């Protein structure tokens, strides 16, 4: 039986339970500890926003420098890219091993495991700074990588380090700093605040804790305002006024969803160490001679770029924008070649993300599909291809939908994009059952647990134990 009086509503203002809850909320609002945490979140979000803006500018400059040097001859990248891949692989063999890859799996793994040693290994300040520096070096060497995933890693590392520095080292509190830093990093990297929130819910945590909602929203808002204030109110790919009316043109949704999903799932499967890509010969070569293997991956990227009109180097942002805006000379094989170039860069194990390169692959595939549908708006089909392929790679359809809408400032395509992303998510799961970021994060966790098990003494080896 309930302890409440008959016909008494516990949510009524006069009820004692309601009064107690109101006092607790007032105490929480006025608590110095809570205000110290809020100020730290706001300050951290500003730092993440400024770091993301600096990173974006530096990344553009690094790749422009590579492009200007490489323009002197087709042979120049042969002297730059393979040695840079080898150097980055060598640099990430030791203390900077956590800087490898996208950076999003590191943030997810640190969020899952409430172990200070594990989190510090992945998110220490030196790791965040190293991630930024080595990703810039990768772009300087022409690698087919992006900066958005690394920005998530940097954002998580900065807020986590700030939280620990000022006494918020409780595992639950530290997890909140990691989540907010990751979301703020993505929001500032793309200048897409809503995508940062959806990314945190769908990709990072999988849940949305009510107590965390205000903190997360505030961090994303502050980081977004910083990016907006410095870079201005812009859409990543410009204002794209594409549309897709109901009717036969919606065949594009079906085609881009299936093709983008299958291709994205294949890419994810090929870059997950425990699946097809790195299990056999490739895995053995990478394990035995990692530096030589990385150099070979760089060489493969250069050779593939020779088959493309504009090359496969860098984020692919310029090529994707040109395809989307309808004045591209990348050639019909750009999507497939960029797909292979992204695999070469991922297999090398160097720092760098897959968001922007994935959008470039999707744009290329969408352009190919548009040629099969002469009655449809080409820009609309390309946009669908970008969103669907990104959804296929990440298996995060909501994040892919929101990012695609915010990147182009186009809301007329909301329903077609959402449909294509959901279809791509299902098609991707047929090829790769586990989402790529989750699989890579789980691999980091398994590796850490194995190392910890080797360090800890077993009962048979403990002092005083009789064999």
What is the DSSP track for 371-418?
TT-TTS-HHHHHHHHHHHHHHHHH--HHHHHHHHHHHHT--TTHHHHH
Q: b/e string for 295-314 if b means 16 or more Cβ within 10 A?
A: bbbbbbbbebbeebebbbbb
The arithmetic mean of pLDDT across residues 173-194, rounded, is: 83
Give tens-digit pLDDT for 12-28: 555 555 555 454 454 45
Read off the pLDDT band of 275 (50, 70, 90). low
Residue 319 token pair: 């090529």
Position 24 scores a pLDDT of 46
CA-to-CA dists, residue 258 to 24, 195, 330, 350, 408, angstroms: 51, 23, 23, 30, 22
More confident residue, 193 or 221: 193
Region of residue 243 (left: phi > 0; alpha: psi -120 to 50; beta: else): beta
Which range has the worst mean pLDDT, 211-225, 248-262, 405-419? 211-225
Q: Nearest to residue 334, comparing CAs of 316, 353, 356? A: 316
Q: Is the pLDDT confidence value at 336 over 50?
A: yes
Q: Is the pLDDT confidence value at 163 over 80?
A: yes
The pTM for the full model equals 0.86
More confident residue, 331 or 314: 314
Q: Is the pLDDT confidence value at 35 over 50?
A: yes
Residue 101 φ then ψ, to 5° = 70, -160
Position 210 scores a pLDDT of 43
The arithmetic mean of pLDDT across residues 352-364, rounded, is: 93
Q: Is the pLDDT confidence value at 415 over 90?
A: no
Average pLDDT, the chain: 83
Position 6 scores a pLDDT of 46
Read off the pLDDT band of 61 (50, 70, 90). very high
Q: Is the pLDDT confidence value at 111 over 80?
A: yes
Residue 41 token pair: 């979140």
275 DSSP assignment: S
Distance CA 431, CA 425 (A): 10
The arithmetic mean of pLDDT across residues 140-164, rounded, is: 92
The arithmetic mean of pLDDT across residues 142-163, rounded, is: 92
More confident residue, 28 or 64: 64
Read off the pLDDT band of 309 (50, 70, 90). confident
Distance CA 121, CA 337 (A): 35
| Segments of the chain assigned to CATH 1.10.3080.10 | 32-231, 248-449
**CATH node for 32-231:** 1.10.3080.10
Position 359 scores a pLDDT of 94
Helices assigned H by DSSP within 412-459: 414-431, 436-455
Distance CA 173, CA 75 (A): 52
CA-to-CA dists, residue 418 to 97, 205, 304, 385, 386, angstroms: 37, 21, 33, 12, 12
Q: Is the pLDDT confidence value at 207 over 70?
A: no
The DSSP result for 183-233, as a single string, is HHHHHHHHT-HHHHHHHIIIIIISS--HHHHHHHHHHHHHHHHHHHHHH-S
More confident residue, 23 or 263: 263
CA-to-CA dists, residue 45 to 35, 42, 154, 180, 232, angstroms: 15, 5, 12, 8, 18
Are 158 and 48 a contacting pair, CB within 8 Å? yes
Give tens-digit pLDDT for 338-351: 999 999 999 999 99
**CATH node for 248-449:** 1.10.3080.10
Are 347 and 297 a contacting pair, CB within 8 Å? yes
The DSSP result for 110-166, as a single string, is HHH---HHHHHHHH-HHHHHHHHHHHHHHHHTT-S-BSHHHHHHHHHHHHHHHHHHT
436-455 and 378-394 are packed helices; what angle lies between their axes, rounded to 10 degrees?
A: 20
């Amino acid at each position: 039986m309930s302890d409440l009086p008959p016909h008494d509503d516990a949510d009524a203002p006069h009820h004692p339970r309601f009064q107690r809850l109101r006092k607790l909320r007032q105490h929480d609002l006025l608590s110095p500890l809570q205000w110290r945490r809020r100020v730290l979140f706001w300050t951290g979000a500003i730092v993440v926003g400024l770091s993301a803006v600096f990173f974006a500018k530096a990344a553009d400059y690094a790749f422009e420098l590579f492009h200007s040097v490489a323009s002197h001859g087709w042979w120049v990248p042969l002297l730059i890219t393979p040695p840079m891949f080898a150097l980055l692989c060598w640099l990430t063999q030791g203390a900077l091993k956590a800087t490898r890859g996208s950076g999003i799996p590191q943030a997810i793994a640190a969020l899952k495991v409430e172990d200070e040693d594990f989190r510090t290994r992945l998110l220490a300040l030196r790791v965040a700074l190293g991630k930024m520096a080595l990703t810039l070096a990768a772009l300087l060497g022409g690698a087919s990588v992006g900066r958005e995933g690394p920005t998530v890693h940097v954002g998580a590392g900065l807020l986590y380090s700030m939280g620990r520095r000022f006494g918020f080292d409780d595992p639950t509190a530290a997890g909140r700093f990691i989540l907010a830093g990751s979301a703020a990093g993505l929001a500032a990297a793309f200048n897409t605040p809503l995508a940062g929130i959806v990314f945190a819910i769908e990709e990072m945590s999988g849940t949305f804790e009510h107590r965390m909602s205000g903190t997360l929203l505030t961090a994303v808002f502050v980081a977004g305002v910083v990016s907006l204030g410095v870079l201005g109110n812009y859409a990543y790919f410009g204002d794209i006024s594409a549309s897709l009316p109901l009717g036969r043109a919606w065949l594009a949704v079906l085609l881009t969803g299936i093709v983008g999903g299958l291709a994205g799932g294949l890419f994810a499967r090929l870059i997950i160490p425990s699946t097809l890509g790195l299990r056999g010969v490739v895995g053995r070569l990478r394990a035995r001679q990692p530096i030589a293997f990385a150099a070979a991956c760089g060489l493969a990227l250069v050779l593939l770029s020779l088959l493309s009109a504009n090359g496969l180097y860098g984020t692919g942002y310029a090529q994707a924008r040109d395809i989307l805006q309808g004045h591209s000379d990348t050639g019909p094989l750009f999507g497939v070649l960029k797909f292979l170039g992204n695999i070469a860069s991922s297999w090398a194990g160097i720092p760098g993300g897959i968001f922007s390169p994935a959008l470039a692959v999707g744009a290329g595939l969408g352009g190919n599909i548009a040629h099969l549908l002469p009655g449809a708006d080409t820009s609309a089909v390309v946009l669908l291809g970008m969103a669907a392929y990104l959804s296929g790679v990440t298996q995060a359809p909501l994040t892919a939908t929101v990012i695609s809408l915010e990147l182009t400032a186009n809301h007329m395509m909301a329903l077609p994009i959402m449909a294509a992303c959901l279809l791509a998510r299902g098609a991707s799961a047929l090829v790769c059952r586990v989402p790529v970021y989750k699989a890579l994060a789980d691999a980091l966790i398994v590796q850490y647990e194995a190392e910890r098990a080797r360090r800890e003494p077993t009962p048979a080896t403990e002092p005083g134990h009789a064999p």
